[in-house]
């Protein structure tokens, strides 16, 4: 699946986040209007009181020659992700809450000499006739505390929204808000939000085209995200988890995140459906 909380790629080689688990908001950023960072309580993204800057990004891209179902499967299939996500160090599912919600782990490379990052996230997904949505945010799991060799980042909100624009095409809308924690140089922040995104999206598009052939030889009918009866994960209750917060955020920030999610989904669906009704198959790549 695509459980990514975004992260800066190692060196100049990008690569998803999204989906063993969704990729982190750094390499996973689609091209947009430019890098954006923000810190709760600090105007203009400037750190206030030692708080960590928050990577924040939205983007949209049109994927042609690939059915929406295939892109959705690519975002979920973490075994396949190992073949194309060059920044991923590890990714696995931990437990499930219900048939459309699980908890998982994702770790990715950062440029040396910085420590690599990881996240533990709760992810949920929903599929309708012409849309697929995957959303995750960080949680604390008692059996997976922060590692000494990693910096535990916080996915405030990471989401993918797919809308079919034809039998073999779709729009992908991406939203990511990540507190990378630790101390990151400005050039790393800029690269994560500006340079790596186009390459990552090209990798995702190419991976989606290759997926059917790969899947035929690697458990063609094994898709637990589609067929819950195939899932063998242990069941966990929400009470065993606690939400992880970015430094400086509080209850109001949580409420704002819920509002952001609702507005993002509503606006994205509206824009995509208008595009779908437009000139045969959707608009081109649009930044916001």
**215-265 confidence digits (pLDDT tens):** 999 999 999 999 999 999 999 999 899 888 766 444 333 444 445 445 545
43 is written with which tokens? 């105007």
Ramachandran quadrant class, 181 (left: phi over 0; alpha: psi -120 to 50; beta: rest): left
The pLDDT value recorded for residue 155 is: 94
In angstroms, how far is CA 185 from the centroid of its own chain? 22
Residue with the larger pLDDT of the pair 148 and 3: 148
pLDDT band at 156 (very low <50, low <70, confident <90, very high): very high
Provide the 10 A C-beta neighbour count for residue 45.
Answer: 15
Helix (H/G/I), strand (E/B), else coil: 97: strand
**All residues at 6 or more sequence positions from 36 whose CB lies less than 8 Å from its CB, including other chains:** 45, 55, 56, 57, 193
Kind of pairing between the strands at 88-98 and 131-140: unpaired
Are the C-beta atoms of residues 179 and 19 closer than 8 Å to each other?
Answer: no
pTM score: 0.70
Range 5-20 average pLDDT = 40
Rounded Cα distance between 263 and 137, Å, is 17
Higher pLDDT, 3 or 126: 126
DSSP letter, residue 192: I
For range 12-20, the mean pLDDT: 36
pLDDT at 236: 93
DSSP code per residue over 23-65: PPTTTTPPP-SS--EEBTTBGGG---TTPPPEEEEEEEEEEES
Stronger pLDDT, 238 or 45, i.e. the higher one: 238
Topology of the domain covering 37-42+49-287: Alpha-D-Glucose-1,6-Bisphosphate; Chain A, domain 4 (3.30.530)
In this structure, are residues 158 and 136 in contact, taking their beta carbons and an 8 Å threshold? yes
Q: Which of 188, 223, 185 is nearest to 72 (CA)?
A: 223
User: Residue 193 and residue 227: Cα distance in Å, rounded?
Assistant: 35
């Amino acid at each position: 699946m695509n459980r990514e909380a975004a992260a800066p790629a190692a060196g100049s080689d990008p690569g998803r986040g999204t989906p063993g688990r969704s990729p982190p908001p750094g390499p996973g950023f689609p091209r947009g209007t430019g890098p954006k960072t923000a810190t709760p309580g600090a105007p203009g993204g400037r750190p206030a009181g030692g708080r960590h800057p928050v990577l924040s990004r939205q983007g949209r891209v049109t994927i042609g020659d690939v059915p929406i179902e295939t892109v959705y499967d690519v975002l979920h299939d973490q075994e396949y992700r190992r073949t194309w996500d060059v920044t991923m160090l590890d990714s696995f599912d931990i437990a499930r809450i219900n048939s459309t919600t699980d908890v998982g782990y994702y770790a990715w490379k950062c440029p040396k000499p910085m420590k690599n990052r990881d996240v533990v996230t709760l992810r949920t997904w929903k599929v309708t006739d012409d849309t697929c949505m995957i959303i995750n945010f960080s949680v604390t799991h008692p059996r997976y505390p922060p590692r000494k060799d990693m910096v535990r980042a916080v996915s405030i909100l990471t989401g993918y929204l797919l809308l079919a624009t034809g039998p073999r095409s779709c729009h992908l809308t991406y939203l990511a808000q990540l507190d990378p924690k630790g101390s990151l140089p400005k050039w790393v922040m800029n690269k994560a939000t500006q340079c790596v995104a186009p390459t990552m999206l090209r990798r995702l598009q190419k991976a989606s085209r290759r997926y059917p052939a790969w899947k035929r030889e690697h458990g063609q009918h094994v898709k637990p995200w589609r067929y819950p009866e195939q899932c063998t994960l242990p069941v966990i209750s929400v009470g065993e988890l606690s939400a992880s917060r970015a430094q400086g955020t509080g209850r109001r920030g949580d409420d704002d995140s819920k509002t952001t999610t609702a507005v993002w989904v509503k606006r994205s669906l509206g824009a995509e459906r208008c595009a779908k009704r437009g000139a045969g198959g959707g608009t081109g790549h649009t930044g916001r």
